[in-house]
Amino acid sequence: MSSAPETTETPKPLRTLGFLTIGLFDPADPRSGHESTLGIIELGERLGFDSAWVRHRHLQYGISSPVAVLAAATQRTSRIQLGTAVIPLGWENPLRLAEDLATVDILSGGRLNPGVSVGPPMQYARVKDALYPDTADAEDFSYERVRRLMGFLRGEPASDFSGTEGIEVFSDRVQPQAAGLAQRMWYGGASLRSARWAGEQGMNYLTSSVVKAEESSGEAPDFAAIQLSHIRAFRAHHPDGDRARVSHGLVVIPTDSATAGQRAKYEEYARKRLARTTEPQGPARLMFSPDYVGTSAEIAERLHAHVAFREIDEVAFALPFSFDHEDYVQILTDIATRLGPALGWRPAATG
């Protein structure tokens, strides 16, 4: 991919500003880590962020149950949108997940934005006997799993019976029914195929700091140009066309109010991860975006030159995995008070 596609003359003002956290915790004291995550979400609402997203980490020391964490967050916030980026459906039963998502959406007052993806669970050979002891070799990890979930959320029958039996009253649909939730479903994709499929399904699209360099050869592929091709493919196949929602998620670390020690930590973090951004990684040819570290003015300038970023007006900037609570407070505060405004964003009313 030798050159970037043409873009509009000026970038769009940023309309929706969100952030994503992995929610790490110490296994010897897991409650503190989960409380820290909830505190960060509360801080995001106070700072005027439009959305807060959590990532999953099954059998690791991060959020294993994002829906449960967001259920708690619904009771500590009143305005901010709450999302998952993303729930890997290979770990889930679509019917049961639909019930959980609908329940949390009702508790939130219609603020839930579930993001999902498909494919076999990570390290499937090591977990399949525990996860699917009787059906491991028969499980379908294709897009059909998303279609089933979406159908249940839209009110498709989950049973062939509704009515009263004895003193029990039964529904043939998932309960509760959460109005509008299906329209707030997102697909997290990294390939052209996923982008096209998500568009055809009328879903929203999450693109992150990882893409597949599947169509590039010869010269070193360009991350931003690949990502732009995914965004345009999604919108070309979506009923809403150019109005279809896309959220962009890069790792940005503004240093405006950081201490000297924090700046050194952030720069070292990005330096250690830089090598993986120079060429496609592994058989899947994954391309990783560099992390964006610097003042808000410097980051805004780099993002305005990013051909994929220029196509969107929604972001969910990813917080680094391994930082301390006070680092996240500083980063979020700088994003909300300096970087966001530099990108044309205005904070939501917090009163």
Domains of the chain with CATH codes = 16-342 (3.20.20.30)
What is the predicted pLDDT for the residue at 231?
Answer: 98
Are the C-beta atoms of residues 121 and 91 closer than 8 Å to each other? yes
Residue 22: CB atoms within 10 Å: 19
What is the predicted pLDDT for the residue at 348?
Answer: 75
* Alpha-carbon span 292 to 300, nearest angstrom: 10
Could you check whether the bond before residue 13 is cis, i.e. omega within 30 degrees of 0?
Answer: no
* Alpha-carbon span 78 to 167, nearest angstrom: 37
Positive or negative, the CA dihedral 189, 114, 88, 69 is: positive
What is the predicted pLDDT for the residue at 2?
Answer: 38
The residues, any chain, with a CB within 8 Å of residue 338's CB and separated by 6 or more, are 254, 256, 296
What is the predicted pLDDT for the residue at 3?
Answer: 46
Query: Which residue matches tokens 């290979």?
Result: 90
Are the C-beta atoms of residues 188 and 195 closer than 8 Å to each other? no
What is the predicted pLDDT for the residue at 135?
Answer: 98
Based on its alpha-carbon atoms, the radius of gyration of the chain, rounded to whole angstroms, reads 20
Residue 21 carries which DSSP code? E
Dig out the tokens for 322 from the structure.
Answer: 């391994």
The series of mean pLDDT values per 10 residues for the chain, 351 residues long, is: 48 94 96 98 98 96 97 98 98 98 98 98 97 98 98 98 98 98 98 98 97 75 96 98 97 98 98 94 94 98 97 97 96 98 88 57
Note the Cα 246 to chain centre separation in Å. Answer: 11
Query: Which residue matches tokens 């049973």?
Result: 159
Q: Please choose, from the candidates 142, 151, 55, 144, the residue with its C-alpha nearest in 3D space to the C-alpha of residue 102.
A: 151
